Structure 1
């Protein structure tokens, strides 16, 4: 992997703190390319933060990495999952069936799991409905033409433990606490080791990219509002080492949170500006903005990333409306915005 930005994806177990190893696992056809799980030694057993995607390649890579630690898949006592996205949750469920390990998940992911378990549900159902309200019919049509059939409902079994404020997630050798950080998903959690100054951040704080907002099956009414509040929450805590789900470990949660807050401030200003110039729907606003650090035109994005761009724009427009900067009105099932 010649690009140093991709070195974090190299297979294996890398010690990032005493008793904590980062293990990257592969993702299929995904721009993120890999997801980190973290193996925490706890006496003679292991706890994993996140489980990866239930793929044969990911299972083999996890088994090989645990082998470096003198352990196997059956030595994982429990999975502390940050949120109910496929690349974090489904392998934990699959390995539980074989080895009896316990799976923990935030209680506010219940609605997402209920939706995924519904036999009538198909991938992207919720996103298609949201895109319709955004006036993005061309993006809807492209997605409907490419989406697959119903995914395996078995991937979405309930956890053993729904984490709420009273749940003890501490280990024998290491005190941990789960902190709700809604935004990326409704029930997203970060796991904090105060004594060691570590934050297992899931997708809440990522070192190289801005986490997506709104890509879930049961989003809240204002996911970006929730996300910004969660960023400020972790910014109010003592600074810690950032152990993210995608990307390398870095030394400061605060530094990256400040960058993310600045990014969203700029994006809110840019979004308000395109509405002032005449964009009336999230689709129109997204087409008027540029995307990624390369400032790509909306038309140059593939349908999936056009979907993400429209939903991100809608999230920013809704925050502007909540702040009184814009007016929001439903016109024949499509949400319109005006200064």
Structure 2
């Protein structure tokens, strides 16, 4: 660890938060170790880097846990910062790796032997006005993730809403698409506890991006998912980033309001035809790294798709580029 944050934090008698470092501005991702009677579960082990592996060795040492004590690895979603170490940890432990069926399809689409996700994303962004030089940098950036998610684990499938054992307690897996296709949260009603992955985060808002071949309106899916989980009684929320938090329902509503405000701002920029890339630059600025730009562009497209589906904007093709403007 390169700063003063603690690697391991005990949150309950059974739940331990492990802060796994990331080579990104977010700095760390939360993994969780949940102890059972004779074994334990790891939720979202992190990204595959040498620093992350070193942190796992140190964390398990602090917890007096052996790799052989880890019975299963549970994934909230397929993004590299959560999924990346699953294959390595499976090799070290022999544990099953669990995720949603939709999440597994995304893994194959992005990093499988017949992967096509990177080039289809490049095509989508170019269609919406991204400059060719920037698009080429995007491809290099996306391909660099392959080593951060390798080796690939053998995956078992979690069924939505079928009680799932984590530690020594059964949790309800709930499908919460939006931030990621196939995203799951895990809710324990009696303990009013939720492992919410990146669906609900404190202080920051989860990225919601339009990606090719997945969900034509991911923001609508995200807002619907937020409304669904906002009805749960939660006193302890364990997120994928930042610290565990209270006020879960209030935070859900804050995020919903944030996106409606963003939709209003974006619609205000559409008095004349603009590309998504222009809007992205106006909205998020021009000083973004390629990593940040990928998220910003996908999020801009997600908001435009929502406005299109609600009849508030129209699209037109000029040459090989899509332009958007406010509907009459």
Normalized against structure 1, the TM-score is what? Answer: 0.87
In the alignment, what sits opposite 2:12?
Answer: 17
Q: Corresponding residue for 1:39?
A: 33
Give the alignment partner of residue 305 of structure 1, picking from 285, 288, 292. 292
How many angstroms does 1:146 deviate by? Answer: 5.8
Structure 2 match to 1:205: 200
SS at match of 1:175: strand
Instruction: Say whether 1:229 aligns with 2:216.
Output: no
Match of 1:322 among 309, 315, 321: 309
- Judging changes above 3 Å, is the alpha-carbon distance between structure 1 residues 158 and 282 closer, same or farther for their aligned structure 2 residues? farther
Distance in 1 (alpha carbons) for counterparts of 2:68 and 2:58 = 13
Q: CA deviation at 1:145?
A: 6.4
Q: Does 1:63 align with 2:48?
A: no
Distance change (3 Å), C-alpha of 1:324 and 1:147? closer
Q: Is the 8 A contact 1:112 1:217 kept in 2?
A: no
- Report the secondary structure of 1:214's partner residue: coil
The equivalent of 1:155 in structure 2 is 151
Alpha-carbon distance between aligned partners in 2 of 1:146 and 1:254, rounded to the nearest angstrom = 36
Report the number of matched residues: 324
The answer on whether the counterparts of 2:209 and 2:302 sit within 8 Å (CA) in structure 1 is yes
Distance, in Å, in 2 between the alignment partners of 1:304 and 1:12 is: 25
Report what 1:294 is aligned to.
none
Instruction: Note the C-alpha offset of 1:13.
Output: 2.0
- What are structure 2's unaligned runs of at least 5 residues? none
2:167 maps to 1:180:
no
User: Which of residues 282, 286, 311 in structure 1 aligns to 2:280?
Assistant: 286
Q: CA RMSD in A?
A: 2.5
Q: Residue 240 of structure 1 is aligned with which of 235, 242, 245?
A: 235
Tell me by how many angstroms 1:325 deviates.
Answer: 1.2
Deviation at 1:120, TM superposition (A): 5.5
| DSSP-derived class of the 2:170 partner | coil
2:160 is the counterpart of 1:165: yes
- The structural deviation recorded for 1:157 is 3.6
